[in-house]
Amino acid sequence: MKRGSFNSRLGFILAASGSAVGLGNIWKFPFEVSNGGGAAFLIMYLFFCFILCFPVIVSEIAIGRNTKKNAIGAFNKMGKRNWNFIGKMGVLCGILILSFYTVVAGWVLGYVFEMINGNFSISENFGKYVNNTTNVILYSTLFMFLTALIVSRGIEKGIEKAAKILMPSLIVIIISLIIYALTLPNSIDGIIFYLVPDFSQINLNVAGNALGQAFFSLSLGMGMLITYGSYINDDNNIINSATLITLTDVGIAFLAGLIVFPFVFSSGIETQGGPGLIFQVFPQIFQDLGGITGIIVGSTFFILLSFAAITSTVSLLEVPVSYLVDEYKIERKYSVWIVAIIILFIGIPSALSQGKSIFFSKFITYFGSEKPIDFMQFIIDVSNDTLLPFGGFLITIYVAFVWKKNNLTEEISKGNPKYKGSLMEKYINFSITYVCPLILGSIFLLTFLNKFFGI
């Protein structure tokens, strides 16, 4: 069986940025910012992305391209079977993420239709909406179906082609919405809240969230970039690609804030942020815009979210699929549907955890805390804030001490002859040997103890 590959460098960058840019940027980022002291969070987030995550991105892509294998097979191919647990953890983590992500993406898709129908009162009925099992199942399944359809067409004709259409459209929509948002009254207050840092809000918890968010947003720490990296050629300049992916991701998260905060502040609606921000507050804002404007702006906004989400679900699905195709020689068209159906089932507890099932809605109470955590939040805590940074930690340890830095340098140099001896090489090597393991390891440990054991 011939292994697929990206047809162009731009195609790879768009697909990888498409993976990075998702609900994490537009749905999660703004409320993390508002909970974390506005720009104080933003600054920490930027620091994590460029200083800690960048070397991990480069490492993942290099492993993938070097081995031309999926996240688990890559370690075997390098003769380091003992380390393939990093890949196994990654595949598992990807499945967990996709299971709840599809549920949220289903809400988003459903909202597109609600907005088109001018059903703005949905904001007061969000609780009811997410517990309307028929709707949620219908839209999540539809979303998964579209994702699987793209992935089943393979790398070039499926993933790359979708990214080439969706990413430019996404950027056009974002820019139009920002221009519109800035014309609203009081929008400047939103910008001020967003951009003026309140450092008193920073604590370990916020730092842990910022790190988790950086990993989640960059799709890092679970082998997605090993997988996508396995579909690129040796002439690809990994450093440049990694830079463009990071800039696109951070840039779009930043721009999403320029839409969200002016909207919220101009509406004068009091909100404590949180996951409901977009689903509860936004329809009210669109309603205040009045009739047809509300319908257009509202549906455009949720179409934007759907576009962002689908290039991400595609990448999440590709990780286990690529594993089945490479290692078990199961044809892509079968692998895709098998995995998609399994993940839909795994998502059911998350879908029920928003009030429908008491068991899943009050799933667990962490040590030392009084508030029960719902199943979806539990999966998010386990996968995003714990497994991803831990995966990143392991990947840097692996590259620095097991695969060895000279091999990394060789791999990167293939598409970048000036890399050897450059400042960038020194920086990456120093980072993956000392900075990343130390900081990622300790933040991971502290967040883990703090989150689950209240220490």
Interacting residues with ligand TRP (CB under 6 A): 19-20, 22-25, 94, 97, 216-217, 219, 222, 224, 312, 315-316, 388
* Cβ proximity to ligand TRP, 152 vs 217, nearer residue: 217
* Cβ proximity to ligand TRP, 385 vs 425, nearer residue: 385
* Cβ proximity to ligand TRP, 104 vs 344, nearer residue: 104
* Cβ proximity to ligand TRP, 93 vs 297, nearer residue: 93
* Cβ proximity to ligand TRP, 57 vs 388, nearer residue: 388
Helix (H/G/I), strand (E/B), else coil: 412: helix
Minimum distance of ligand TRP from residue 64's CB (angstroms): 13
* Cβ proximity to ligand TRP, 17 vs 361, nearer residue: 17
Cα 191–chain centre separation:
24
Helix (H/G/I), strand (E/B), else coil: 364: strand
Rounded CA-CA distance 380/236 in Å is 33
Q: Which amino acid is at 307?
A: F
CA-to-CA dists, residue 7 to 12, 15, 69, 433, angstroms = 8, 11, 17, 34
Minimum distance of ligand TRP from residue 91's CB (angstroms): 11
Minimum distance of ligand TRP from residue 171's CB (angstroms): 16
Whether the CB-CB separation of 451 and 386 falls below 8 Å is answered with: yes
Minimum distance of ligand TRP from residue 18's CB (angstroms): 9
Rounded CA-CA distance 265/328 in Å is 53
| Contacts of residue 192, Cβ cutoff 8 Å, sequence gap at least 6 | none
Minimum distance of ligand TRP from residue 295's CB (angstroms): 26
Helix (H/G/I), strand (E/B), else coil: 19: helix
* Cβ proximity to ligand TRP, 305 vs 348, nearer residue: 305
Minimum distance of ligand TRP from residue 406's CB (angstroms): 28
* Cβ proximity to ligand TRP, 39 vs 218, nearer residue: 218
- CA diameter of the chain: 62
Phi/psi for 373 (5° steps) reads -110, 135
Q: Which amino acid is at 204?
A: L
Minimum distance of ligand TRP from residue 313's CB (angstroms): 7
DSSP string, 38-101: THHHHHHHHHIIIIIIHHHHHHHHHHHHHHT--TTHHHHHTT-GGGTHHHHHHHHHHHHHHHHH
* Cβ proximity to ligand TRP, 105 vs 289, nearer residue: 105
With 0-12 / 13-18 / 19 or more C-beta atoms within 10 angstroms meaning exposed / middle / buried, residue 406 is exposed
Minimum distance of ligand TRP from residue 350's CB (angstroms): 15
Rounded CA-CA distance 407/388 in Å is 24
Minimum distance of ligand TRP from residue 95's CB (angstroms): 11
